[in-house]
């Protein structure tokens, strides 16, 4: 690594989910220990890394477009090293496609790039004018505790608690590209969170594809509730949020603990995907419409100030309008604060890719619009329930809409803009009385 010490500039671009962003923070941490400084312009860079996402086809198309744009840069600067990594390039068929389409790429790695970065850069520096080396490697989550991530922002932090996924939902490529589920030790997580709090970070997000199965397949006798208990006991004021929860593994005991905890977020992101039992079963989700509704309503009852959000997938192979109507019905009955909605995208290598998919793209798009209309109507008014209440808000800076306001995040994960604060409040907590609600934020007074 020593001879790579230099003052060269690296540009890292991340696509997709928070887990990928957390990986990139480790990548930039490692690059910085190698002597690279970071740049936000591809034009200045000596090294460009794209950390890609494969969850849907449109994410992939964006990456293909952006990589294509690098061709000119490489022609102007032949020593520029271009590396692709992440979920897309973990799949050999996609890696080969990149190699064939863009011969100017220097290295194509997979999801386990972090520990091999120095070696990949070293090799790429030798073969820089010869085109891509493909290093794929097993898709297995690795936790390199020694690498300190270079975190964006001052007040928040992403903390991966596990990697990979064992669920094999039939539409999802994640288990194929991120490998089997591996949990970090509770000891290392608690130590990291403590250090982050000591640095002044107060908004900690625990990350995993299915946080509710944390601790399975390990020697430690601790589950996700146990981990949250340990974190809740740490000194100081801070908020621990977490994603993503899986309805099949999220137990009432966890909800009960959160209800009486002091420092655990009041935001539950609980992806439902579909409201039809027939489709849930084809998706291999492991729960029913009824059990989902019971759990969601239990959470709302036990934690009255909770914010409940979800993911919904429209147009899964074989879904018909009656199935879709069940999704609309569930959406209306639960009343989510917001829903991330997606049209099904066929992913090579998944079980759903081999299922009959007779519904046309146009029809799916009509259903999608119908769902958006229903959810927008619910979302428009759902924050009204906070008007008149006082929320504890972690203040992060000046309001975007109006610099006279300060902005922050409530324990529900909702943006709160408020009057009456001063800039010294950044990085601190405040009590804010809510006076107005918007579909995406709350407004109030200190």
Query: Where along the sequence are the contacts to ligand 5AD (CB under 6 A)?
Result: 55-56, 171-172, 271, 273, 311, 313, 342, 344-345, 347
Q: Give min distance, CB of 311 to ligand SF4, in A.
A: 8
What does 94 interact with, of ligand SF4, ligand 5AD, none (CB < 5 to 8 A by kind)? none
Q: Give min distance, CB of 37 to ligand 5AD, in A.
A: 33
What does 167 interact with, of ligand SF4, ligand 5AD, none (CB < 5 to 8 A by kind)? ligand SF4
Question: Residues near 17 by Cβ (< 8 Å), separated by ≥ 6?
Answer: 53, 55
Beta-sheet strands, E only, within 4-46: 9-14, 37-38
What does 382 interact with, of ligand SF4, ligand 5AD, none (CB < 5 to 8 A by kind)? none
Helix then strand count (H, E) for the chain reads 13, 19
What does 209 interact with, of ligand SF4, ligand 5AD, none (CB < 5 to 8 A by kind)? ligand SF4
Contact present, 60 and 94 (Cβ < 8 Å):
yes
- Tell me which DSSP letter residue 401 carries: S
Residue closer to ligand SF4, measured from CB, 53 or 196 = 53
Q: Give min distance, CB of 422 to ligand SF4, in A.
A: 42
Classified as helix, coil or strand, 436 is strand
Contact present, 292 and 286 (Cβ < 8 Å):
no
What does 175 interact with, of ligand SF4, ligand 5AD, none (CB < 5 to 8 A by kind)? ligand SF4
Residues that bind ligand SF4 (CB under 6 A): 165, 167-169, 172, 174-175, 209-210, 246
CA 41, CA 38: separation in Å to the nearest integer?
Answer: 9
Classified as helix, coil or strand, 231 is helix
Q: Give min distance, CB of 54 to ligand SF4, in A.
A: 11
Q: CA-CA-CA-CA torsion for 428, 429, 433, 439, nearest 10 degrees?
A: 80
Residue closer to ligand 5AD, measured from CB, 244 or 261 = 244
Residue closer to ligand 5AD, measured from CB, 25 or 60 = 60
What does 165 interact with, of ligand SF4, ligand 5AD, none (CB < 5 to 8 A by kind)? ligand SF4
Residue closer to ligand SF4, measured from CB, 315 or 399 = 315
Residue closer to ligand 5AD, measured from CB, 113 or 174 = 174
CA 414, CA 402: separation in Å to the nearest integer?
Answer: 17
The encoded tokens of residue 97 equal 């496609």
Residue closer to ligand 5AD, measured from CB, 142 or 311 = 311
Q: Give min distance, CB of 191 to ligand SF4, in A.
A: 27
Q: Give min distance, CB of 89 to ligand SF4, in A.
A: 18
The encoded tokens of residue 178 equal 């991120």
Residue closer to ligand SF4, measured from CB, 20 or 382 = 20
Residue closer to ligand 5AD, measured from CB, 313 or 425 = 313
Q: Give min distance, CB of 210 to ligand 5AD, in A.
A: 11
> In the chain, what's the furthest Cα-to-Cα distance?
65
What does 210 interact with, of ligand SF4, ligand 5AD, none (CB < 5 to 8 A by kind)? ligand SF4
Question: Residues near 408 by Cβ (< 8 Å), separated by ≥ 6?
Answer: 393, 394, 395, 396, 415, 416, 418, 430, 432
| Helices within 283-392 (DSSP H only) | 289-302, 321-334, 361-382
Beta-sheet strands, E only, within 93-251: 107-108, 133-134, 156-160, 162-163, 182-183, 203-207, 239-243
At residue 89, φ and ψ (nearest 5 deg) are -80, -5
Question: Residues near 395 by Cβ (< 8 Å), separated by ≥ 6?
Answer: 406, 407, 408, 421, 425, 426, 427, 428, 429, 430
What does 276 interact with, of ligand 5AD, ligand SF4, none (CB < 5 to 8 A by kind)? none
What does 55 interact with, of ligand 5AD, ligand SF4, none (CB < 5 to 8 A by kind)? ligand 5AD
Residue closer to ligand SF4, measured from CB, 209 or 410 = 209
What does 313 interact with, of ligand SF4, ligand 5AD, none (CB < 5 to 8 A by kind)? ligand 5AD
CA 66, CA 60: separation in Å to the nearest integer?
Answer: 10
Q: Give min distance, CB of 410 to ligand 5AD, in A.
A: 24
Residue closer to ligand SF4, measured from CB, 167 or 265 = 167
């Amino acid at each position: 690594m020593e001879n790579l010490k230099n003052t060269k500039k690296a540009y890292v671009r991340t696509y997709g989910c928070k887990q990928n962003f957390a990986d990139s923070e480790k990548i930039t941490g490692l690059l910085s220990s190698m002597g690279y400084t970071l740049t936000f312009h591809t034009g200045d860079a000596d090294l460009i890394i794209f950390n890609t996402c494969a969850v849907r086809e449109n994410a992939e198309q964006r990456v293909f477009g952006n990589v294509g744009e690098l061709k000119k840069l490489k022609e102007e600067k032949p020593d520029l090293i271009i590396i692709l990594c992440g979920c897309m390039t973990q799949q050999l068929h996609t890696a080969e496609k990149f190699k064939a389409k863009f011969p100017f790429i220097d290295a194509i790695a997979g999801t386990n790039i972090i520990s091999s970065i120095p070696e990949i850069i070293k090799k790429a520096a030798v073969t820089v004018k010869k085109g891509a080396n493909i290093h794929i490697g097993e898709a297995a989550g690795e936790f390199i505790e020694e690498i300190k991530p270079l975190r964006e922002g001052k007040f928040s932090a992403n903390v991966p608690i596990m990697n990979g996924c064992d669920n094999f939902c039939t539409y999802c490529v994640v288990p194929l590209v991120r490998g089997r589920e591996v949990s970090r030790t509770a000891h290392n997580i608690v130590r990291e969170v403590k250090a982050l709090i000591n640095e002044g970070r107060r908004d900690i997000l625990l990350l995993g594809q299915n946080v509710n199965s944390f601790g399975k397949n390990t020697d430690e006798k601790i589950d996700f509730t146990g981990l949250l208990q340990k974190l809740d006991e740490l000194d100081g004021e801070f908020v621990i949020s977490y994603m993503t929860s899986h309805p099949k593994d999220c137990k009432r005991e966890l909800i009960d603990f959160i209800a009486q905890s002091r420092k655990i977020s009041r935001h539950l992101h609980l992806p439902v995907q579909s409201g039809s039992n027939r489709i849930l079963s084809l998706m291999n989700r492991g729960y029913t419409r009824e059990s989902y509704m019971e759990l969601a309503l239990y959470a709302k009852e036990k934690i009255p100030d909770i914010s409940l959000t979800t993911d919904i997938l429209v147009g899964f192979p074989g879904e018909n309008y009656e199935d879709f109507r069940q999704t609309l019905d569930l959406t209306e009955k639960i009343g989510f604060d917001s829903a991330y909605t997606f049209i099904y995208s066929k992913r090579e290598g998944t079980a759903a890719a081999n299922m009959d998919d007779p519904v046309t793209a146009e029809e799916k798009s009509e259903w999608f619009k119908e769902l958006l209309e229903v959810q927008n109507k619910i979302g428009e008014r759902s924050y009204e329930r906070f008007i008149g209440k006082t929320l504890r808000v972690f203040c992060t800076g000046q309001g975007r809409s109006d610099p006279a306001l300060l902005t922050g995040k409530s324990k529900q994960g909702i943006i709160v803009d408020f009057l009456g604060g001063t800039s010294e409040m950044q990085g601190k907590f405040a009590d804010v009385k809510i006076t107005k609600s918007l579909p995406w934020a709350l407004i109030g007074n200190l």
